Amino acid sequence: MNSYKPPFHITDKMINLISEISEQVGRISLQKDQHINPHLRRENRIRTIHSSLAIEHNTLTLEQVTAIIDGKRVLGNPNEVREVQNAYEAYEMMLQFDPASIEDLLTAHRVMMRGLMKENGCFRSGGVGVFDGDVLIHMAPPAEFVPEQIRQLFEWYQRSSMHPLIKSAVFHYEFEFIHPFADGNGRIGRMWHSLLLGQWKEVFFWLPIEELIKSRQQEYYDSLAQADKDADSAVFAELMLEIIRDTLSEVEVIHEQTDQDSDQGSDQDNDFVLELLKVLGNQTLSAAELMKRLGLSHRPTFRKNYLKPALEAGLIERTIPDKPSSRNQKYRKVRKQTI
């Protein structure tokens, strides 16, 4: 039987923070039939991606990240653009991931790091350290121990009856301590923390926790280092609970403001569809031609934000409806019937 238990202790501060957070989650859950509206979800997701990548030294602005996710061409470092596209794809898959599945963890890493490193979707094969400039601040365990350590960590989380707010923060610390990948540990660790919390309460799938981590980035790193020194992750768990509480406080305020315009959530989708109809005009065009006219380069974004909503609304139609994936497929506006 796996008797592994991460080294940490529960503090009075943690208990008080859990009480505050639980009250906040309860209030939010009573609003809008327990769901954050789609417009706010989208804004939070973009803020999450921007902040998580900025922590990893991606220099693209929030506006640039938004444009990339909208499928627009952006002048910037190609690797940084790729990081945004990968992160968006990974977060879009988030609801499909099982937080208890190591295979899903590897899939998330493969999607997040595709085209950015060779060892994507697999545990590291060599040693790795965390540096602050030229100073080594953490030497991760040898690579041969990683698969077993991750297995033990996942099993502990599922076995533990501790409150998800505490054990997810402990998981986050232990994940970063093991440092299972050659690169991408920070962004995957933060994403998995949100996934674990989302399993507890759905609102955590849409919280931009990474934005407050970024604003307290030095504290975040200092608490990781202090937990290493103490051989106890309590200090890190306390910081993460503070960040979660403060993020929820911000979301409560924004949520109240956004509720006043309940139909605003579909405005962005409508804008995309109207833009598509405008460039289509009375012509019959292929997907590639439409993307060129829209100034788009990312096909999945084009399909998700423009093509699919227009098709589902019955505003455009395929020229070969019985073969949706045909290489000769084109699109045209649906002609109004006259009597």
Q: Which of 179, 193, 255, 298 is catalytic?
A: 179
- Bind-site residues: 130-138, 183-190, 220-221
Exposed, middle or buried: residue 117 (CB in 10 Å: 0-12, 13-18, 19+)?
Answer: middle
Are the beta carbons of 239 and 232 closer than 8 angstroms?
Answer: no
Q: Where would I find the H helices in the chain?
A: 12-29, 38-55, 62-69, 78-92, 102-113, 146-159, 164-178, 185-200, 209-215, 217-230, 234-259, 267-280, 287-294, 299-302, 308-312
Cα–Cα distance measured from residue 124 to residue 184, given in angstroms and rounded to the nearest whole number: 11
Active site residue 163: no
3-class DSSP state of 204: helix
Residue length of the chain? 339
3-class DSSP state of 99: coil
Please give the structure tokens belonging to residue 317.
């139609």
Q: Which of 229, 49, 200, 219 minimizes the C-alpha distance to 138?
A: 229
Looking up tokens 């405008």, which residue turns up? 278
- Bind-site residues for ATP: 130-138, 183-190, 220-221
Q: Which of 11, 49, 20, 101 minimizes the C-alpha distance to 210?
A: 49
Residues with a catalytic annotation lie at 179
